[in-house]
Chains A and B, each alone.
Chain A
Amino acid sequence: MRPEVLRVLVANEPRTNREVLTAALRKLRPHIEVIAAEPHDLDGSVLRLRPHLVVCSRLTEAVREHAPSWVLLYPGGDSLVVLHIVGERETAPDLDLDSLLSVIDRTEAFLQRG
C-alpha cells in the first residue's frame, strides 16, 4: 500500500504571505501536497481536504479537531507563533523557514509511522 502523501493547508493572512509560503513549500518539499485556501474558507477547506498540517492566522475548532498538526501565525497581530505538532505544543516569537520545514517533516514522519 502506497504511503499517504502529506497534505498541508496554507490559509494564513495576508495573501502575499500565504502565496509566498505556499510557493516556497511546494519548491522545497515537492513530494507533499501543499494547498492554499482563503482564510474565510478555513473550516470548509479543513473538512473537505482533511489536511495533516494547517498553517493559519486564527485557530478554529475544525482545525483543532481535525488537523494532527497546526501552526498559528501571529494571532491578533501578536509577535507569537503557536505550534501544535502531533500533540506537542510549542510557542515561539516567530517562525523561520527551517522551523516550518521541521514541522512538516515531523508531521510526515508521524503519518508514515501510521
Chain B
Amino acid sequence: MIRIMLVEDHASLRQPLAFMLDQEPDFTVVTQAGTLAEARQALVGVGMDLAIIDLTLPDGDATGLIREARSAGPNVAVLVLTVSEDPKVWARAAEAGAAGVLHKSAGMREVVDAVRRVAGGGLLYSPAQLVGMLRLAQAEREEDRDAKVAIARLTPREREVLGALAEGLGDREIARRLCVSLDTARAHVSSIIGKFGVESRLQAILFALRHGAITIRTPR
C-alpha cells in the first residue's frame, strides 16, 4: 500500500484529491496539510511513502519542504503539483529532490499514474531534462550569489539612494533628501547601476527587488 501525504492549500482540490486517491486499491492518504506549518507538524511521526506537494502555500514557498519530506523516512518520494510554469521553480524542485513536477493542467489520470510511477522509484523527467533543470538551478544559485556580492559592495549612501529610487524619487528629489548636489545624486545612481551590472535605474530597482535588497511598500 502506498502511503501518501497531501500538501495543498486549496481544500476544494485537496479533499477531493485525497478522496479519489483513496479510491485506488493501492493508495492510502495518511495525512493532509493546507499550510507549511501544518505539513511540518504532520511530518513528525508519519509513516509515508510519497508526498504530493503544492509549492505555493499561504505561509511560504514549499521547496524546502521537499527536502524535509524526503528526510522523513527511507525512500520517501516527492511529487510536486504546481500551477507555476517558471522553469526555475521546476528546477529548484528537482534540485530539492522532487522525483517529478506536474503542472496542474494535468488530468486526474495523469496525476494518479505519476503517483504510482514516482512511488515505485521512478522519475517523471528524462535524464536530459533532469540535467537541464539541475544546471538551471545551479545557474540561478550563482546569479544569486553574484547579486549578493554586488549588493554588499554598495556604500551606505548608495543604499540610501537605492531606497529613494525604490520610492520613485527622481534625481532632484534624491539630492534634496540627501542634502547633496544634483551631480552627486546622479553619480550615486550611476554607481549603483554600474555595480549591479544593469543598464537603467528601473533595472537597478528590479535587480534589488529580486535579490531582496529592497522591498516596495504598498500605499495604504
Contact = CB atoms under 8 A, between A and B. Distances in A.
Q: Does B bind A? A: yes
Interface residues on A, range: 20 to 34
Interface stretch (A42-50, A60-68, A92-100, A104-112): A92-100
B15 interface: yes
A94 B11 contact: yes
Contact of A16 (B19, B58, B104): B104
Contacts of A94: 9-12, 34
B89 to A, nearest CB: 15
A94 B57 CA distance: 13
- Among A17, A21, A79: residue with most chain B CB under 10 A: A17
B131 interface: no
Contact of B12 (A19, A28, A95): A95
Contacts of A21: 12-13, 16
A15 interface: yes
Contact of A14 (B11, B34, B105): B105
Interface residues of B, number: 23
B107 interface: yes
A24 interface: yes
B2 interface: no
A100 B12 CA distance: 8
Nearest to A15: B105
Main secondary structure of the interface of A (DSSP, over half): helix
Contacts of B17: 20, 24
A97 B16 contact: yes
Contact of B104 (A14, A25, A73, A96): A14
B62 interface: no
Interface string B1-39: 000000001111101110110010000000000100000
Interface in A1-21: 12, 14-17, 19-21
Contacts of B11: 94-97
Contact of A19 (B9, B103, B108): B108
A97 B19 contact: yes
Interface string B68-86: 0000000000000101000
Contacts of A17: 10, 12-13, 104
Interface of B: 9-13, 15-17, 19-20, 23, 34, 58, 81, 83, 102-108, 111
